[in-house]
């Protein structure tokens, strides 16, 4: 029996991408998460006494050059060397543009496949095949570079690919599942797509996902794949790897008719989220939904609720709040006499849609944005349509904040 551990898209020391993570302690935890997850992988490989670790690309993250990263990686791979565990590694698009990968002297238990493709015999009945990226662009399929599978043996192929395309991922080394099936390999150890997916079991075609998410856009538990090869048959298990889980949930607060009731709902929800965490820590983006009778009071006291939920999360344990989103529906309009705030509400919203008001608001926004770096301004308002949308959004938001203060004071 032979056991192998398959991972990809580690992105060591990837820069923090979430602007919402302003808490210093949380920032430190998340910034170290890619390293901690990789260390957890090494620990698992050693505890399970696997024969080899397969890294299907993007071990590094872009052009970041760091001696600390190199030292950390070498140290972890040397742990595997001491345990007589081999490592097979193909370079992905991020590795190909990383200067470390061209100069780092890795331990002799690591085999790095080059861009020409090749195969290595791991045992009498097992061969590992792989093709690396030559540079950061791979617009054509890399399948023609793979050597033929070895007859009478188990053949594993390592490929970094976007397959036929995936949302949020650039196209690299494109190919179709049918192409992989027809190549004759027993297991395709893929990389590049950060979400885990088993595309086929005959042959196995596995995208393991990344071992550690980096922000709320990469939510959910992360994992690697453990292969067990016995009598020519491959079985695959999912292995949890992330040390920080990013997650998104929604809570309906329709029944919350008082602050006490809302706090009770929040406390129960956070405790349930915490109970389901498999990682050491979780970062949560929570959206409040529903049509609460406390709608205006909640909007009025948004800052208070932000702090309240942060404290409740800490009391629940192992839980941090990335962001609290208010997606509440306003209560139904009252019948009968129209109040002064109702009149003001209509007036403010009418004014916010007038062209003259928008022109003044746009000028003020332009004045504020002048103090920002050009690159950040370009991201906020890449074109005229985005500028108009931002102006409208801020005007509407401001109107509702004023209304919330007034209506929240009504009985």
**Host H or E run for residue 38:** helix 33-47
Query: How big is the chain, counted in residues?
Result: 411
Residues facing 160 on adjacent strands: 191
Helix 67-82 to helix 33-47 angle, to the nearest 10 degrees?
A: 10
Cα–Cα distance measured from residue 370 to residue 381, given in angstroms and rounded to the nearest whole number: 12
Q: Which domains does the chain have, with CATH numbers?
A: 2-241 (3.60.21.10), 245-407 (no CATH)
Q: Are 33 and 211 in contact (CB under 8 A)?
A: no
Residue ranges of alpha helices (H) inside 97-176 are: 99-103
Provide block-wise average pLDDT over 10 residues at a time, the chain (411 residues): 96 69 74 91 96 94 73 94 97 69 78 94 95 83 94 96 74 90 97 94 96 88 96 96 93 94 96 90 94 90 93 89 90 66 77 83 86 82 86 81 76 52
Burial of 113 (0-12, 13-18, 19+ CB in 10 A): buried
Q: Which two tokens stand for residue 136?
A: 């950061």
Q: What is the pLDDT of residue 212?
A: 93
Pick from 380, 382, 384, 385: which is nearest to 369 by CA? 380
Q: What is the pLDDT of residue 100?
A: 53
Cα–Cα distance measured from residue 245 to residue 33, given in angstroms and rounded to the nearest whole number: 10
Q: What is the pLDDT of residue 406?
A: 77
DSSP letter string, 203-225: TEEEE---SS--SGGG-S--EEE
Model confidence pTM above 0.95 = no
């Amino acid at each position: 029996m032979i056991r192998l551990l398959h991972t990809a898209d580690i992105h060591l020391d990837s820069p923090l991408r979430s602007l919402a993570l302003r808490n210093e302690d949380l920032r430190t935890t998340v910034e170290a998460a890619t390293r901690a997850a990789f260390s957890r992988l090494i620990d698992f490989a050693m505890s399970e006494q696997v024969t080899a670790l397969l890294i299907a690309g993007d071990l590094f993250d872009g052009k970041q050059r760091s001696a600390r990263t190199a030292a950390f990686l070498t140290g972890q791979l040397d742990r595997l060397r001491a345990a007589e565990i081999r490592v097979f590694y193909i370079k992905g698009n991020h590795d190909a543009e990383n200067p470390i990968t061209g100069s780092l002297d890795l331990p002799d238990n690591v085999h790095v496949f080059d861009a020409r493709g090749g195969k290595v015999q791991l045992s009498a009945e097992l061969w590992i095949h792989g093709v690396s990226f030559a540079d950061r662009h791979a617009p054509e399929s890399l399948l023609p570079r793979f050597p033929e599978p070895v007859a009478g043996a188990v053949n594993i192929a390592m490929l970094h690919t976007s397959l036929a395309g995936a949302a949020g991922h650039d196209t690299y080394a494109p190919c179709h599942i049918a192409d992989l099936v027809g190549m004759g390999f027993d297991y395709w150890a893929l990389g590049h797509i950060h979400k885990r997916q088993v595309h086929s079991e005959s042959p196995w075609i596995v995208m393991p996902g990344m071992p550690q998410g980096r922000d709320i856009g990469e939510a959910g538990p992360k994992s690697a794949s453990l292969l067990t090869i016995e009598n020519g048959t491959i079985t695959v298990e999912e292995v949890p790897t992330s040390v920080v889980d990013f997650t998104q949930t929604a809570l309906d607060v329709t029944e919350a008719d008082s602050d006490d009731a809302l706090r009770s709902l929040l406390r129960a929800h956070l405790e349930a989220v915490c109970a389901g965490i498999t990682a050491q820590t979780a970062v949560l983006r929570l959206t409040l939904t529903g049509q609460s009778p406390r709608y205006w009071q909640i909007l009025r006291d948004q800052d208070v609720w932000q702090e309240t939920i942060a404290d409740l999360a800490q009391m629940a344990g192992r839980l941090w709040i990335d962001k609290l989103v208010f997606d509440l529906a306003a209560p139904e309009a009252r019948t009968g006499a129209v109040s002064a705030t109702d009149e003001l509400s209509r007036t403010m919203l009418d004014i916010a849609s007038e062209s003259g008001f928008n022109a003044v608001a746009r000028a003020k926004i332009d004045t504020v944005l002048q103090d920002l770096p050009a690159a950040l301004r370009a991201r906020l308002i890449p074109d005229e349509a985005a500028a108009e949308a931002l102006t409208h959004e801020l005007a509407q938001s401001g109107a509702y904040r004023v209304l919330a203060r007034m209506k929240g004071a009504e009985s």
